[in-house]
């Protein structure tokens, strides 16, 4: 087995999306444009209500999956299929947009701290025109491993005996939320064909055997291919571990649409403009 080392450490860029919600973007940037199959990763939130109250008004998507994971605060989802739902702390919404959906994500809170993540996953060409699908995961339904050294919440994949609610998926995703105590190690075997990264929310980690730059809060840690991951907490750390099997297809982007060709992006724009976009 080969030990996994760090490929690159990237500081998340401050940005905004929706109607001005403040966020930190780490995938979908000049330094990390696309890590197959992952298209975007945002850490969103603030303790200032003015930074998030405008939310994410109705907007379209096609050809991707969006995975929203709430740590603090509440958001309401509503979309063109008639689905509605409220997300609270610890909840996950895994949405496969397929051939098209128009949805909104608006805060169901008027104050307090908002904190969460949104991950975009590409869909293979054969699935990009499927009907939209959802998996709503309440925080209490996530698999949890707890010992004296760490806490691991499992959204997708398996850690020890803890399993995530998502059991079958074409990219065989791993999505863990980990809190690791100072001086302790997190060890995990990642399939060698997967692309993997860590998003360090707070703390400081040493990864692998080779010397690397210091890790900082809100940073993306791209990992080399390998099998065995060993991460040691220099101080108490909170981070995401995300990995998936590459799709290996060309991508074409057009804002909220991700397809395989520019012609398909133009088709999505035409469908949206002429009112046939989210007709099922």
Residue 146 main-chain phi, psi, to 5 deg = -135, 130
pLDDT band at 20 (very low <50, low <70, confident <90, very high): confident
Q: pTM score > 0.85 for this model?
A: yes
Q: How many residues does the chain have?
A: 280
pLDDT band at 11 (very low <50, low <70, confident <90, very high): very high
**28-63: per-residue pLDDT in tens?**
999 999 999 999 999 998 888 888 888 788 889 999
Containing 265, the helix (H) or strand (E) segment is helix 262-273
DSSP string, 66-81: EEEEEEES-EEEEETT
Class of the CATH-defined domain 6-273: mainly beta
CA 113 – CA 116 distance, rounded (Å) = 10
Between residues 1 and 95, the one the model is more confident about: 95
Between residues 69 and 277, the one the model is more confident about: 69
- Do 128 and 252 contact (CB within 8 A), yes or no? no
pLDDT confidence of residue 239? 98
Residue 17 has pLDDT above 80, yes or no: no
Residue 19 has pLDDT above 80, yes or no: no
Query: Taking the CB of residue 168, how many other CB atoms lie within 10 A of it?
Result: 5
**212-256: per-residue pLDDT in tens?**
999 999 999 999 999 999 999 999 999 999 999 999 999 999 989
Which of 63, 28, 11, 4 has its CA nearest to residue 195?
4
Q: How far is CA 11 from the centre of its chain?
A: 16
Residue 280 has pLDDT above 70, yes or no: no
CA 66 – CA 40 distance, rounded (Å) = 9
**150-201: per-residue pLDDT in tens?**
999 999 999 999 999 988 899 999 999 999 999 999 999 999 899 999 999 9
Bond from prior residue into 92 cis (ω within 30 degrees of 0): no
CA 164 – CA 93 distance, rounded (Å) = 13
pLDDT confidence of residue 1? 67
- Do 36 and 253 contact (CB within 8 A), yes or no? no
Between residues 270 and 279, the one the model is more confident about: 270
Residue 104 has pLDDT above 90, yes or no: no
Which of 156, 196, 154, 260 has its CA nearest to residue 38?
196
Structure token pair of residue 104? 């909104």
Average per-residue pLDDT for the chain:
93
Q: Where are the domains of the chain?
A: 6-273
CA 190 – CA 234 distance, rounded (Å) = 22
CA 243 – CA 169 distance, rounded (Å) = 12
pLDDT confidence of residue 112? 84
């Amino acid at each position: 087995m080969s030990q996994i080392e760090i490929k690159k450490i990237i500081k998340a860029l401050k940005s905004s999306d929706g109607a001005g919600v403040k966020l930190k973007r780490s995938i979908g940037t000049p330094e990390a444009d696309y890590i197959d199959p992952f298209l975007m990763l945002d850490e969103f939130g603030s303790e200032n209500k003015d930074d998030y109250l405008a939310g994410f008004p109705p907007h379209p998507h096609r050809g991707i999956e969006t995975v929203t994971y709430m740590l603090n605060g509440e958001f309401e989802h509503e979309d063109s299929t008639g689905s509605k739902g409220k997300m609270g702390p610890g909840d996950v919404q895994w949405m496969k947009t397929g051939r098209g959906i128009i949805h909104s994500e608006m805060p169901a809170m008027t104050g307090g701290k908002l904190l969460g993540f949104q991950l975009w996953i590409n869909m293979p060409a054969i699935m990009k025109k499927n009907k939209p699908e959802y998996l709503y995961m309440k925080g209490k339904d996530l698999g949890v491993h707890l010992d004296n050294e760490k806490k691991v919440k499992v959204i997708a994949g398996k850690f020890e005996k803890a399993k995530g609610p998502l059991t079958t998926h074409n990219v065989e995703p791993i999505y863990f939320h980990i809190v690791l105590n100072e001086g302790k190690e997190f060890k995990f075997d990642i399939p060698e064909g997967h692309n993997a990264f860590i998003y360090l929310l707070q703390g400081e980690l040493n990864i692998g055997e080779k010397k690397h730059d210091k890790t900082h809060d809100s940073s993306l840690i791209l990992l080399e291919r390998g099998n065995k991951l060993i991460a040691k907490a220099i101080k108490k750390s909170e981070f995401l571990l995300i990995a998936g099997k590459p799709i290996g297809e060309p991508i074409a982007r057009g804002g909220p649409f991700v397809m395989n060709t520019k012609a398909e992006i133009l088709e999505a724009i035409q469908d949206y403009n002429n009112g046939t976009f989210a007709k099922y």
